[in-house]
Amino acid sequence: MTNRDFDEWLGKFRPGISSYDYYIDFEKVVKNVDEIKVELNILNSLIGSKT
């Protein structure tokens, strides 16, 4: 398998709306997760998930 230099590949991208911030409001995600964190942990323990 050929080694790939992803930093070089990403460096060739032109500036644009390719940032995740354009598509996702991370502050809102964190706020919403914080509000249901206990419930998410209970669901994870019920299905046997470690993450």
Q: Report the pLDDT value the prediction gives residue 9, as an integer from 0 to 100.
A: 83
**What is the residue extent of each domain of the chain?**
24-51
Residues 1-51: tens digit of each pLDDT: 578 888 888 888 777 766 777 788 899 999 999 999 999 889 888 887 566
Please spell the DSSP secondary structure of 16-35, one letter per residue: SS-SHHHH--HHHHHHHHHH
Whole-prediction pTM: 0.44
Q: Report the pLDDT value the prediction gives residue 49, as an integer from 0 to 100.
A: 59
Contacting residues for 26 by C-beta, under 8 A, at least 6 apart: 20
